[in-house]
């Protein structure tokens, strides 16, 4: 039915490529383009012959708008799926505009020298995409992504007004290393060492990193310590969910992860300020990334499950309603299916679904949009079909 170009062949890119190839009635042609062409070629070699999707590969520097525009024009995709790093979001959006192609990503833009992600940079492209008649779908991973779709689904089917949202992201996976991150270490560590924040009564409330801790008994996983973080979907949901009073985001961390992180932070290894080392400028966090295990290598070692979902409190027909919708994903099952652990899987599957809905016109409207601004039902159906089935309850344990 259509052509997709995927930029980035890391953990998430690999899963999205596998899923597009499974969905070969929809994705008839696929170009995998990334900085290291070997990773693109390895995926092509593994998958061609297992799928009707015609796969090609290319080397590209997504920081270079001209080079990228030329590649997009020569392939002529219906949609570009950006699974490189948040630093490339704006150059890839520029190239999509120049080439006249729809755009989908999973993480919002973050300047390389400031560890603070905000939607303002990408929302500023709204008029350009409107004028070009193109759709840019932002944040079609799990969180952000499915959490926004869950919110739109709750709003559409179960609430007149949602007052409180708690997004809970639990990873009970064990990879056996004392310290490793489940996705790009640089992005992950920038996120968790930043100040926390939540949105309440129209304002942001800032916290120290890891200041707010709760214990939650997760379905199929059990009790875990979780900590309040700032997270990008808080920003868009605060605008898009009617009647909202408070949104918080919690993520689980084990004691070993936190102890190692504190130590690395205390010695300056998580800093993004360049230092002089043996006559060269290096960024400590980028050096740390180079010595940590590659998240893609965790797949065969990780056992256990993730549980990511949202708890909503609000009113329907004048009555108070609580609603919890979540997905449980098993690391080992993901590895058996696509050769990746569940963190990459839970991001790569919704990325493929978002690209499919934009490509087939179900979620097409000119401009720049977050996932909760579209009809959630086709996305919710596709989650069940493509490997991320969800469960729901109207009597969840609440977070205090
Ligand atoms: P990886 O580091 O594993 O992969 C990133 C890929 O992008 C690599 O193949 C890398 O190339 C490529 N790349 C980096 N810079 C460039 C460039 N300038 N030009 C071309 N290619 C480039 O990261 P992940 O797969 O873990 O994460 C991918 C994205 O998914 C990130 O933006 C991350 O924030 C997001 N994410 C979103 C989640 C969600 O739920 N919404 C959850 C997890 C991740 P090379 O191989 O040469 O390094």
pLDDT of residue 317: 97
CA distances from residue 320 to 148, 200, 245, 317, 361 in whole angstroms, order as listed: 21, 19, 15, 9, 36
How many domains does the chain fold into? 1
Is residue 89 domain-resident?
no
Tell me: pLDDT of 56 over 90.
Answer: yes
Pairing of strands 27-34, 390-393: unpaired
User: What is the overall mean pLDDT for the chain?
Assistant: 95
Kind and range of the H or E element at 250?
strand 246-252
The answer to whether residue 53 scores a pLDDT higher than 90 is yes
Which atom of ligand 1 sits closest to the CA of residue 106? 41
Q: Which domain range does residue 198 map to? A: 146-338
Q: Which residues of 128-151 are buried (b: 16+ CB within 10 A; e: fewer)?
A: bbeebebbbbbbbbbbbbbbbbbb
Write down the pLDDT at residue 141. 98
Q: What is the pLDDT of residues 94-114, one digit of tens each?
A: 999 999 999 999 999 988 877
Protein residue closest via CA to atom 32 of ligand 1: 85
Say if ligand 1 is within 6 A of residue 11 CB.
Answer: yes
Ligand 1 site, residue 224, Cβ cutoff 6 A = no
Kindly give the distance from the C-alpha atom of residue 378 to the centroid of ligand 1, in angstroms, as a whole number: 26
- Our answer on whether the CB atom of 62 is closer than 6 Å to any ligand 1 atom is yes
Q: Return the best residue to mutate from 6, 7, 8 for the ligand 1 pocket (most ligand atoms within 8 A of CB).
A: 8
> Which stretch of DSSP H or E encloses residue 263?
helix 255-266
Phi, psi of 262 (to 5 degrees): -60, -45
Going by C-beta distance under 8 Å and a sequence separation of 6 or more, which residues neighbour residue 290? Answer: none
330: three-class secondary structure by DSSP? strand
**CB-side exposure of 134: number of CA atoms within 13 Å?**
24
Q: Is-contact 189 261, C-beta < 8 A?
A: yes
Which residue's CA is the nearest one to ligand 1's atom 39? Answer: 141
pLDDT tens column, 201-210: 999 999 999 9
- Please indicate, yes or no, whether the overall pTM of this predicted structure exceeds 0.85: yes
In a domain? residue 391: no
Quick check: 280 pLDDT over 90? yes
For residue 179, pLDDT beyond 80 = yes
Whether pLDDT at 116 is above 80: no
pLDDT in tens, 210-228: 999 999 999 999 999 999 9
Does the C-beta of 142 come closer than 6 Å to ligand 1? Answer: yes
139 assigned to some structural domain: no
Query: For the residues of 281-299, what is the DSSP string, one character each?
Result: EE-HHHHHHHHSPPGGGGG
Residue 115 has pLDDT above 90, yes or no: no
Is 187 close to ligand 1, i.e. is its CB under 6 Å away? yes
For residues 380 and 391, the answer to whether their CB atoms sit within 8 Å is no
Please report whether residue 177 resides in a domain: yes
Query: Are 166 and 227 spatial neighbours (Cβ–Cβ below 8 Å)?
Result: no
Stretch 122-136: mean pLDDT, rounded?
Answer: 98
Average pLDDT over residues 105-134: 92
Please compute the mean of the pLDDT values over residues 137-156 and round it to a whole number: 98
In a domain, 223, yes or no: yes
- Cα of 392 vs centre of ligand 1, distance in Å, is 31
Instruction: Tell me if 367 CB under 6 Å of ligand 1.
Output: no
The CATH number that applies at residue 204 is 3.30.360.10
Statement: residue 249 has pLDDT above 90: yes
Q: Which residues touch 11 (CB under 8 Å, ≥6 apart)?
A: 183, 184, 295, 296, 340, 341, 343, 344, 348
- The predicted pLDDT at position 110 comes to 87
**pLDDT tens-digit series, residues 183-202:** 888 888 888 888 999 999 99
Environment class of 395 (CB within 10 Å of its CB; exposed 0-12, middle 13-18, buried 19+): exposed
Give CA torsion, residues 386, 387, 391, 397, to 10 deg. -130
Residue 86 forms part of a structural domain: no
pLDDT value, residue 51: 98
97 CA distance to ligand 1 middle (Å):
21
Residue 97 falls inside a structural domain: no
Task: Return the SS3 of 148.
Answer: helix
| Tens-place pLDDT, residues 379-389 | 999 999 999 99
Interval between CA 155 and ligand 1 midpoint (Å) = 32
Indicate whether 323 belongs to any domain.
Answer: yes
**C-alpha to C-alpha distances, 279 to 134, 276, 282, nearest whole angstrom:** 47, 6, 10
Per-residue pLDDT, 191:
84
Rounded Cα distance between 370 and 137, Å, is 6
Residue 392 has a pLDDT of 98
- Return the pLDDT at 190: 84
Burial (CB < 10 A; 0-12, 13-18, 19+), residue 263, is exposed
Q: What is the mean pLDDT of residues 279-288?
A: 95
């Amino acid at each position: 039915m259509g052509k997709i170009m995927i930029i980035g062949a890391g953990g998430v890119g690999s899963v999205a490529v596998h899923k597009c190839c499974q969905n070969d009635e929809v994705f008839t042609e696929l170009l995998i383009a990334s900085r290291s062409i070997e990773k693109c070629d390895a995926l092509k070699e593994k998958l061609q012959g297992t799928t009707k999707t015609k796969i090609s590969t290319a080397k590209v520097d997504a920081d270079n708008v001209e080079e990228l525009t030329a590649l997009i024009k020569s392939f002529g995709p219906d949609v570009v799926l950006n699974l490189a790093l948040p630093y490339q979001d704006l150059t890839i959006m520029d190239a999509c505009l120049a080439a006249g192609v729809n755009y989908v990503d999973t993480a919002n833009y973050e300047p390389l020298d400031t560890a603070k992600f905000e939607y303002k940079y990408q929302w500023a492209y709204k008029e350009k995409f409107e004028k070009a008649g193109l759709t840019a779908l932002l944040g079609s991973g799990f969180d952000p992504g499915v959490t926004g779709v869950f919110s739109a689904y709750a709003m559409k089917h179960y609430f007149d007004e949602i007052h409180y949202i708690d997004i809970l992201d639990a990873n009970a996976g064990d990879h056996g290393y004392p310290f490793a991150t489940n996705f790009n270490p640089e992005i992950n560590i920038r996120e968790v060492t930043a100040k926390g924040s939540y949105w309440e009564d129209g304002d942001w409330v800032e916290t120290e990193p890891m200041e707010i801790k709760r214990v939650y008994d997760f379905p199929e996983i059990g009790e875990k310590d979780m900590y309040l973080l700032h997270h990008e979907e808080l920003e868009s949901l605060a605008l898009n969910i009617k009647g909202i009073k408070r949104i918080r985001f919690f993520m689980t961390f084990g004691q070993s992860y936190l102890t190692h992180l504190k130590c690395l932070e205390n010695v300056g290894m998580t800093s993004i300020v360049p230092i002089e080392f043996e006559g060269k400028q290096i960024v400590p966090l980028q050096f740390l990334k180079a010595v940590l295990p590659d998240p893609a290598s965790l797949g065969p070692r990780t056992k256990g499950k993730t549980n990511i979902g949202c708890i909503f409190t609000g009113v329907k027909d004048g009555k108070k309603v609580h609603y919890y919708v979540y997905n449980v994903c098993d690391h080992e099952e993901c590895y058996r299916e696509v050769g990746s652990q569940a963190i990459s899987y839970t991001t790569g599957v919704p990325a493929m679904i978002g690209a499919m809905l934009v490509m087939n016109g179900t979620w097409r409207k000119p401009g720049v949009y977050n996932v909760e601004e579209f009809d959630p039902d086709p996305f919710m159906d596709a989650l069940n079909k493509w490997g991320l089935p969800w469960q729901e309850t109207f009597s969840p344990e609440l977070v205090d």
